[in-house]
């Protein structure tokens, strides 16, 4: 291969790398609730408001802070899932990529959602436990789970669209 052919190939690979980076950079993903999820019927509040009241807590109402989203984000170990998606996405730069940027984040976000629902909601090791009074009312010590509606409202969104 002569030098001109080598430079052209590197230039082409850099163009593809730049295209993929821009596509990835413009992709957004989230796990949780948004205003579009509507009203939590038992409380009459928006799901987002209910989540933030619990996240901040209220000393006046004897409600300890239970920031489910932060606890999940800090304790979920999904780096390998994300790394695997990035490796696939950035492989074969000499060819036009067929993997969508959304597919890089989807397995990670779905793993985070699963982890949040199964290991954070209701966990007395990750969240402040219910008071004895609340346990007597509910019959169990499962912080952030009474009806399960708030937990069930959590979704994965990529570019603003629900994907699960």
* Whole-number pLDDT of residue 10: 53
- The pLDDT, as a whole number, for residue 4 is 44
Positions of E strands within 34-74: 39-40, 45-46
Which neighbouring-strand residues pair with 161? 158
3-state secondary structure of 86: helix
Q: Specify the pLDDT at position 158.
A: 98
- If you average pLDDT over residues 106-131, what whole number do you get? 97
Identify the pLDDT of residue 95.
Answer: 79
Distance CA 47, CA 120 (A): 17
Average pLDDT (67-80) is 96
Instruction: Judge residue 82's burial from the number of C-beta atoms within 10 Å of its C-beta, 0-12 exposed, 13-18 middle, 19 or more buried.
Output: middle
Please give the pLDDT value at position 98: 82
- Of 79, 59, 74, the closest CA to residue 127 belongs to 74
Residues 6+ apart with CB under 8 A from 43: 50
Question: If you average pLDDT over every residue of the chain, what do you get?
Answer: 91
Q: Looking at residue 6, what is its pLDDT?
A: 44
Mean pLDDT, residues 46-54 taken together: 96
Q: Is the pLDDT of residue 126 over 80?
A: yes
Q: Give me the residues paired with residue 31 across strands.
A: 156
Per-residue pLDDT of 1-47, as tens digits, reads: 454 444 454 567 888 899 999 999 999 999 999 999 999 999 999 99
* Inter-CA distances, 59 with 7, 47, 63, 64, 71, Å: 65, 21, 6, 7, 20
* For range 57-82, the mean pLDDT: 95
- 85-117 per-position pLDDT tens digit: 999 999 888 777 788 999 999 999 999 999 999
Two tokens, residue 74: 């800090």
């Amino acid at each position: 291969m002569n030098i001109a052919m080598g430079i052209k190939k590197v230039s082409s690979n850099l163009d593809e790398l730049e295209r993929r980076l821009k596509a990835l950079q413009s992709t957004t993903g989230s796990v949780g609730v948004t205003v579009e999820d509507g009203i939590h019927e038992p409380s009459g509040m928006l799901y987002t408001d209910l989540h933030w009241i619990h996240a901040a807590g209220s000393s006046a109402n004897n409600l300890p802070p239970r920031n489910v989203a932060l606890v999940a984000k800090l304790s979920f170990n999904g780096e390998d899932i994300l790394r695997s998606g990035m490796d696939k996405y950035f492989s074969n730069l000499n060819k036009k990529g067929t993997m969508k940027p959304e597919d890089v984040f989807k397995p990670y976000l779905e793993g985070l959602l699963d982890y949040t629902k199964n290991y954070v909601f209701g966990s007395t090791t990750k969240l402040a436990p219910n008071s004895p009074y609340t346990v007597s009312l509910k019959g169990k010590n499962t912080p952030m789970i009474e009806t399960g509606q708030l937990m069930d409202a959590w979704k994965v969104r990529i570019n603003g669209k629900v994907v699960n």
